[in-house]
């Protein structure tokens, strides 16, 4: 849990004041590390509150992902963290319907890792932040695809 929250928190960034995420369609009020649950304009959160929100969101999110793909229990730890980070960012509804999760269910984890590079679009355009998160990484922060493949010893 600690590794997952640290990884997702680093990619999501932290905002202690609610902001309108306009990349989402429709736009949604967001706070802390990408939390949209019950968030409204004007909300403010503390560091501790954001940490608690992220832990809750990761646990709830993980439960939904395991429900749609119980095969995730058998995925190596780094691959699991990468796939769940992707699903946290894209939403479990889209994730559970994806070709990436179909590959996980079929036991093709390497193929699932490679699918991550397809999830870099918003509004039909490549978003640099998504490309960094999925494929390129940032200084000191490994990409989801690289982390996923590292779990397989690649």
User: Of these residues, 12, 45, 62, 144, which one is catalytic?
Assistant: 12
As given in the structure block, the two tokens for residue 21 are 């995420």
Give me the pLDDT at residue 25, please: 78
For the segment 35-76, what is each residue's pLDDT rounded down to a tens digit?
Answer: 999 999 999 999 999 999 999 999 998 999 999 999 999 999
Active site residue 21: yes
Return the pLDDT at 122: 82
Helices (H), 1-154: 2-12, 47-68, 77-90, 92-96, 99-105, 109-115, 128-131, 144-150
- Taken in order 143, 149, 152, 154, is the CA torsion positive or negative? negative
pLDDT single digits (tens) 88-111: 999 999 999 999 999 999 999 999
Residues forming beta bridges with residue 141, ordered by sequence position: 138
Give the domains, in start order, of the chain with CATH numbers: 2-150 (1.10.530.40)
Q: Judge whether 12 counts as a catalytic residue.
A: yes
């Amino acid at each position: 849990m600690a590794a997952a929250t640290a990884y997702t928190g680093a990619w999501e960034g932290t905002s202690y004041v609610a902001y309108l995420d306009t990349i989402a369609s429709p736009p949604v009020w967001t706070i802390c590390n990408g939390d949209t649950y019950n968030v409204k304009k004007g909300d403010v959160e503390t560091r501790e509150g954001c940490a608690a929100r992220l832990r809750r969101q990761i646990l709830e999110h993980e439960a939904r992902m395991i429900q749609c793909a119980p095969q995730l229990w058998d995925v190596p730890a780094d691959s699991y963290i990468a796939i769940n980070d992707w699903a946290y960012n894209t939403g479990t509804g889209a994730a559970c319907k994806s070709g990436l999760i179909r590959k996980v269910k079929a036991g093709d984890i390497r193929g699932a890792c490679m699918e991550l590079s397809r999830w870099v679009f918003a509004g039909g355009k490549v978003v640099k932040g998504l490309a960094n998160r999925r494929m390129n990484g940032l200084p000191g922060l490994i990409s989801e695809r690289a982390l996923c493949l590292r779990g397989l010893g690649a």
